[in-house]
Structure 1
Amino acid sequence: MTHIRIRGARQNNLKNLTVSIPKHQLTVVTGRSGSGKSSLVFSTVAAESERLLNETYSSYIQHQLTQYDKPDVDQIENLPVAMVINQKRLGGNSRSTVGTISDIYASVRLLWSRIGEPFVGYSDVFSFNNPNGMCETCQGLGYVEDIDLNELLDYEKSLNEGAINFPSFKPDSWRGKRYRYSGLFDNDKKLKDYTEDEMHTFLYTEPTTLKNPPSNWPRTAKFEGLIHRFRRSFLINDNFEKKRFLKDVQRVVTTHQCPTCKGQRLNAKVLSCKINGMNIAEFTALTIEETLPFLKAIRSEKAAFIIKPLLKQLEALNYIGLNYLTLGRETTTLSGGESQRIKLIRHLNSPLTDLVYIIDEPSVGLHPEDIEKINQIMLNIRDKGNSVIIVEHDPDVIKIADHIIDIGPGAGKNGGEVTFEGTYPALLSSSTDTGKALTRCHQLKPNVSSDYDHWFKLENITRNNLHNVSVQLPKQALSVLTGVAGSGKSSLIKAGFEHRRDTIFIDQKPVHASQRSNLLTYMDVFDDVRTFFSKATGLKKSMFSYNSEGACLNCNGKGVLKTELAFMPDFSQVCEVCGGTRYKQEVLEAKVDGNSIADILALTVEEAIDLFKNEETILSRLKALQSTGLYYMTLGQSLDTLSGGEIQRVKLSRYLTEKVTQKIFVFDEPTTGLHEDDIPILQARFEQLIAEGNTVILIEHNLTMMTQADWIVDVGPGAGTKGGHILYSGPPNALLDVPESVTAKHLARYIKPTE
């Protein structure tokens, strides 16, 4: 019972893997990107634990939970209940804040209701989500939205000509017809010629039944003014359509601070209640580190039992490097790394033990200075009597492990095997890629110049914690911005470059794609692959699309069948007709060099390069993917299965095929998810972009990438109010002489490893 034993794991690329993970220890699973780490830890161990736990609930409850398929594994023994702490953003909406998501705001509300003066009610009235507490003007949002009629309407056009300047209100759309078919307007009359009454009817009529509508008007429909319909469809509801037309919604809708509550979300009565001269909204606008002295200064015996645990929670957030956040910060603005650390703190305070905590790359978004702190948090979780399994590449996290499992030796079909099991010292002396990478000596990039002919000058920037900051970055060079999380790096670059048309921001946000989108569709060559098959086999091109004529009739090209059962979870199974390939049998029988279209989609990028060696367009896109280290991904891989780092590298691959020049490429932590041995692959792409006349700017914490910089800008010294200053700007070597820079401290350690 001392180990979690996994026998015969074959999930994804795992090769009948058998391994034991010690309980009540901290185990780090390492290996190259795409080697099978996540397949073992998340798709096998975590998925099976969560599946078995779900089965203990009633059918009704099971129906509400995420459904997990049984992983492809022979046996797992001694499996505890799993707590998965991933990097998914906390999400939520405008009503979800750091305070509400962490449950800290509940304690804050209780505090104000107990000792705030004057007494205005119990804790629920201090909630901006409660009708009794929220500001009536903005409904507790803190902002109001207005519709810019000059953007929504083209006054030079008539309804027939498309006067409503919004995609879903085009003349022939069902929404457009609600105005053209109403019989209330001259459809050929330009809006600029409307009378005041006509314009009022057009824009502001409350939903009403038409008295004598034309014959083409829907029988049960009501006429509704454009402002009411647009507000209901795109402002009040956070629905699929709003996301679908987000760019147009942002063009038409203006947002500004609520004039009544001045952004504080609550009504005047609630805001009148204060503790030591501060109302609850002013308190949640303080940074985490600013809340601590305020709470410690409160002298009240009846509030002591509230303040003590509240301080404990806030001090944990402060310690873990989130001191710059405010309790009022909307969760939608948090990064994946920030979200993950908030989840970690919630578990640290949990009384539950004997769980297995599964943590996905906790180093993401963290400076080496902060990694030391998060390491301590994870060790504390272990010491409470839990097992901890971490998927990680960062050397500073790997070295705290009690036990290490290395998966490899390569990626994709070349991975899926256990190449090492043991302690950290044993890993260092092993012949694995991970062991070699951890013992490699690092040096700063040689022959770096400080004499550049052309510069980008960022002058007098004031944003967030930056106040009148100026700095310059060399053109056609690799600049790396460093500093602890929250120091002001991203704010500096966004303020300096977001309005420039020649800037390309390549972040880790998911591409907007459905399950039917794959690697080839994003790289814009699936059409070429279908043409290739059509010419070679004589079948119509549309037959090679699983979204069109070629789709298996049984599963409609999805590859799986989902059965909805009353009061039971949905049941999914691979389509028995097409075997999960998505295609009709006649399409699968049409082969080129022995490969069907489904066989091609199952190939890795590396394998497909040889097959398409004579197809110039396809070959160039595949080589671009290979050049960013994505050689292990399959051509048919759904885009919604990619990690943040993989998404970023796919986006880069697309630009590499376009041969852009004179552009500014800004990358936000491009080493996310990369093994140390894969970083040189990415570095070579940056050098390629620079050689083609572009400028590359990285916001980065990875020490290996810092050693390859032409220019370093260090922002700090701390986070939030303790940051926002340029500590250093210049060639990397002189950064080591800046005593107040924590980056310098860790970089010096990295290039001069201790014996």
Structure 2
Amino acid sequence: MESRSIVVKGARVHNLQNVDIELPEGELVCFTGVSGSGKSSMAFDTIYAEGQRRYVESLSAYARQFLGQLEKPDVDSITGLSPTVSIEQKAAGRNPRSTVGTMTEIYDYLRVLFARVGEPHCVACGTPIGSQTRDGIVDRILSLPKGTRFSVLAPIVQGRKGEYQDLFEDLQRQGYIRARVDGRTVLLTQTPNLERHIRHDIEVIIDRLVAKPEFRARIGEAVDSALRLSEGTLLVSPEDGEDLLVSARFSCPSCGLSATPPSPQLFSFNGPQGMCPTCRGIGKHVRMDERLAVPHLEKSVAQGAVAPLGVPRNRWKMHYYEGVLRRHKCDLDTPWKKIPARGRRELLRGVKARIELEWKRRNGSIYRHQGRFEGILPPLEQRYVESASGSVRKRLGAYMLEGPCSDCEGARLKSEARSVLIGGKSLPDVARMTVEDAHEFFADLALSETNQTIAEDALKEICGRLVFLLDVGLNYLSLDRTAPTLSGGESQRIRLASQIGSGLVGVTYVLDEPSIGLHHRDNNRLLDALCRLRDAGNRVIVVEHDEDTMRRADRIVDFGPGPGQLGGQLVVDGTWKQVARSKASVTGAYLSGRCKIGVPLSRRTAEKWLTIRGAQHNNLQNVTVKLPLSVMSCVTGVSGSGKSSLITDILHEALARDLNRAETHPGDHKVIDGVENLDKVIEIDQQPIGRTPRSNPATYTGAFGPIRTLYSELAESRVRGYKAGRFSFNVKGGR
């Protein structure tokens, strides 16, 4: 019978020295050794790389041209290799649209769940939305001001790609004359040639009418035709006004407002049907901070209280400012601090309704009229976004801050999607929950018998994936946590949870230190997840330094004995007890207790302190912490306890602002005492140092600069006129 083991012979990748190794199927194997001993060279650059290369070679020539040619590892032979999957310790990406929910596909199932069993509510009054009768729709249309001219339209294509020439011809055969295509009215005999790769909206114009009681029968016929053509939805488009969406299936019984039937697309913040129109589904947008925009409260508007506006000179705009202030019994000379809060808000952000205005002509007469005021700041924000001038963006950028969207408040979805509830919670409410809270919510969710049957499959997938996240120690993450804010270890464990949920069998998984950043309290849950992956019929290879992982592994393959050129050899291969007995293994010496990390006999004492007072950022609850200076301090706690919130989001951001003059925005806290004892702050995080092939340790650390200078000062270099740049491979004269 053919062996199912992976057999590697003569591996020479990087510092590996003709290493032979055999890995049986269905084992949890731990690669250990000192840093630089060759563990990753064997696991990732040999076994995983060869598995990927063979997979790519099995594809068609057409597919391979998009993937590129993968280099064959320097190895004599590899046999018994199954499909390989790498779960490396790297950031999840910089895309703010990617979240924990989307990475694990939980959000996709939530969209289906809310579309199928969610209860729509009116966005205006919160009343549950039900179906609307044909006569009710006619009454709703006749409630328009008498004499209003309007058109009845049937929406048949909404946000879909295609050319639709056959559709236009079919509508002509049915007797229709006009349609509105992408907001423009056209004759069906003269329809435009639509771009097939662009999304289009097509509404058929059923009839053009006037809102009068004597036209009730004709309006009813138009409603019947529109509902039949568009399967239950129609648009009423007045000549002077916004379109009114009316549905025979979903409308508010209180205020008559209609809504589109829920669909999975409605709950996607990456598509136009569901995303918030203000922030485009990001949940945040850049807007002017009112505290920065009005730094001097004792000044009046006429004196330049609004800093980005300065002293107003435009008389036409000033009469709008006067109209707003007059509503609150103030004028342009009133100090800002004496203007009521509502008046300040209206002046900066605008007034929805029309306001009374007085324009003083140069001859002394007064022209009284009504107008809409959009506010002082929105036009400046728009100018900042659209301007190509660096000086304009720099001047206005000093007042800009990134904050939650003013419309969706960070929920990312439009109001219709936020108004669909399950168990009293909207989809954004569920996404804001932690993994642990979401699991409890769905475990206790009570649905009707019919809805339970409909939601059974979606609930099973959601709960299963939440359990996998709990198993890898990520119970503290919220489902809407964005990918750029995740650490490398968290991203790796999320991908591990996704792989456990995929149910693949016969795969070789290669993991890079999955326990890094994980509290020892959660280590057993992570190891149980790895064992579950192994027991499903997979081979699991873990590159790890963690002692608990070594003791739980079926086998340990120890590389060494030293780093770099001193390593690259297979020191010992066996159980952890066999490795512990090996005299040649450095790892075994620490496993057996022969070597230990010594505890210092005496410790340094601090004379100066840094005190953070009243920290309330994220989950911190009014914490006050004293940190000693001139000593090494360690901030610990279980995952999600608030360590990064305190040190990274508050302390580093505040010190970078005060010492390095960086434009940062620290988390919520009262004050930090002792900053005067420091002169600068440096952050060393988990982000990679760069991806350019021209960078190496010597260039990154700056050591290459003095070396080039030394060579340029040699006698022969001076004779030839060589400068330091001559010895750089990044400039034309040196490379």
| TM-score interval for Structure 1 and Structure 2 normalised by the shorter chain | 0.5 to 0.7
Separation in 2, partners of 1:360, 1:143: 34
Please tell me whether residue 280 in structure 1 is matched to residue 282 in structure 2: no
Which digits, 9 at most, give the CA deviation of each residue in 1:480-534, with x for residues without a partner? 1222211111112232343123332222222356221222222223232223334
Please tell me whether residue 499 in structure 1 is matched to residue 654 in structure 2: yes
Which residue in the other structure is 2:6 paired with?
4
Please tell me whether residue 337 in structure 1 is matched to residue 489 in structure 2: yes
Please tell me whether residue 458 in structure 1 is matched to residue 605 in structure 2: no
Please tell me whether residue 124 in structure 1 is matched to residue 265 in structure 2: yes
Please tell me whether residue 114 in structure 1 is matched to residue 261 in structure 2: no
Which residue in the other structure is 1:412 paired with?
564
Which residue in the other structure is 2:537 paired with?
385
Q: CA deviation at 1:276?
A: 1.8
Matching residue's letter, 1:27? V
Q: CA deviation at 1:472?
A: 1.8
Does the aligned pair in 2 maintain the 1:135–1:266 contact within 8 Å? Answer: yes
Q: CA deviation at 1:92?
A: 4.5
Which digits, 9 at most, give the CA deviation of each residue in 1:684-743, with x for residues without a partner? xxxxxxxxxxxxxxxxxxxxxxxxxxxxxxxxxxxxxxxxxxxxxxxxxxxxxxxxxxxx
Q: CA deviation at 1:10?
A: 1.2
Please tell me whether residue 91 in structure 1 is matched to residue 238 in structure 2: no
Which residue in the other structure is 1:436 paired with?
589
Aligned residues: 481
Separation in 1, partners of 2:732, 2:119: 70
User: Aligned match of 1:309 in 447, 461, 473?
Assistant: 461
Separation in 1, partners of 2:571, 2:398: 53
Indicate the SS of the match to 1:322: coil
Matching residue's letter, 2:617? R
Which residue in the other structure is 2:20 paired with?
18
| Residues 187-202 of structure 1 aligned to structure 2 (within 5 Å) | none
Please tell me whether residue 59 in structure 1 is matched to residue 66 in structure 2: no
Which residue in the other structure is 2:106 paired with?
104
Indicate the SS of the match to 2:553: coil
Separation in 1, partners of 2:289, 2:633: 40
Separation in 2, partners of 1:498, 1:293: 35
TM-aligned CA distance change 1:61 to 1:75, over 3 Å? same
Which residue in the other structure is 1:262 paired with?
409
User: Aligned match of 2:554 in 399, 402, 424?
Assistant: 402
Please tell me whether residue 545 in structure 1 is matched to residue 728 in structure 2: yes
Separation in 2, partners of 1:510, 1:428: 34
Matching residue's letter, 1:533? Y
Q: CA deviation at 1:86?
A: 0.4
User: Aligned match of 1:473 in 615, 627, 636?
Assistant: 627
Which digits, 9 at most, give the CA deviation of each residue in 1:265-298, with x for residues without a partner? 1111111111121111111111111112221232
Separation in 1, partners of 2:397, 2:500: 39
Please tell me whether residue 145 in structure 1 is matched to residue 286 in structure 2: yes
Separation in 1, partners of 2:456, 2:311: 68
**TM-score, with structure 1 as normaliser:** 0.59
Does the aligned pair in 1 maintain the 2:287–2:381 contact within 8 Å? Answer: no
Please tell me whether residue 367 in structure 1 is matched to residue 519 in structure 2: yes
Does the aligned pair in 1 maintain the 2:471–2:529 contact within 8 Å? Answer: no
Q: CA deviation at 1:473?
A: 2.5
Does the aligned pair in 1 maintain the 2:435–2:470 contact within 8 Å? Answer: yes
Which has more radius of gyration?
2
TM-aligned CA distance change 1:192 to 1:310, over 3 Å? closer
Does the aligned pair in 1 maintain the 2:384–2:397 contact within 8 Å? Answer: no
Separation in 2, partners of 1:352, 1:512: 34
TM-aligned CA distance change 1:448 to 1:355, over 3 Å? same
**TM-score, with structure 2 as normaliser:** 0.61
| Unaligned stretches of 5+ residues in structure 1 | 153-190, 200-224, 236-240, 552-556, 558-755
Matching residue's letter, 1:480? C
Separation in 1, partners of 2:265, 2:109: 11
Which residue in the other structure is 1:422 paired with?
574
Does the aligned pair in 1 maintain the 2:91–2:486 contact within 8 Å? Answer: yes
Please tell me whether residue 294 in structure 1 is matched to residue 449 in structure 2: no
Q: CA deviation at 1:550?
A: 5.1
Indicate the SS of the match to 1:20: strand
Please tell me whether residue 357 in structure 1 is matched to residue 498 in structure 2: no
Separation in 1, partners of 2:427, 2:287: 28
TM-aligned CA distance change 1:378 to 1:484, over 3 Å? same
Matching residue's letter, 2:588? G
TM-aligned CA distance change 1:354 to 1:374, over 3 Å? same
Separation in 2, partners of 1:128, 1:320: 27
Does the aligned pair in 1 maintain the 2:104–2:465 contact within 8 Å? Answer: no
Does the aligned pair in 1 maintain the 2:278–2:405 contact within 8 Å? Answer: yes
Indicate the SS of the match to 1:329: coil
Separation in 2, partners of 1:319, 1:421: 29
| Residues 492-531 of structure 1 aligned to structure 2 (within 5 Å) | 492-494=646-648, 495-500=650-655, 501=659, 502-512=680-690, 514-531=692-709
Matching residue's letter, 2:265? D
Indicate the SS of the match to 2:639: coil
Q: CA deviation at 1:252?
A: 7.3
Q: CA deviation at 1:76?
A: 0.8
User: Aligned match of 2:385 in 231, 236, 240?
Assistant: 231
Separation in 1, partners of 2:386, 2:26: 53
Separation in 2, partners of 1:130, 1:549: 47
| Unaligned stretches of 5+ residues in structure 2 | 121-249, 251-260, 294-308, 318-378, 660-679
Separation in 2, partners of 1:320, 1:291: 16
| Residues 60-75 of structure 1 aligned to structure 2 (within 5 Å) | 60-65=62-67, 67-75=69-77
Indicate the SS of the match to 2:552: coil
Matching residue's letter, 1:90? A
Matching residue's letter, 2:432? A
Matching residue's letter, 2:74? D
Separation in 2, partners of 1:536, 1:227: 60
Indicate the SS of the match to 1:349: helix
TM-aligned CA distance change 1:148 to 1:464, over 3 Å? closer
Which residue in the other structure is 1:81 paired with?
83
Identity %: 39
Moved more, 488-497 or 457-466: 488-497
TM-aligned CA distance change 1:151 to 1:489, over 3 Å? closer
Does the aligned pair in 2 maintain the 1:429–1:435 contact within 8 Å? Answer: yes
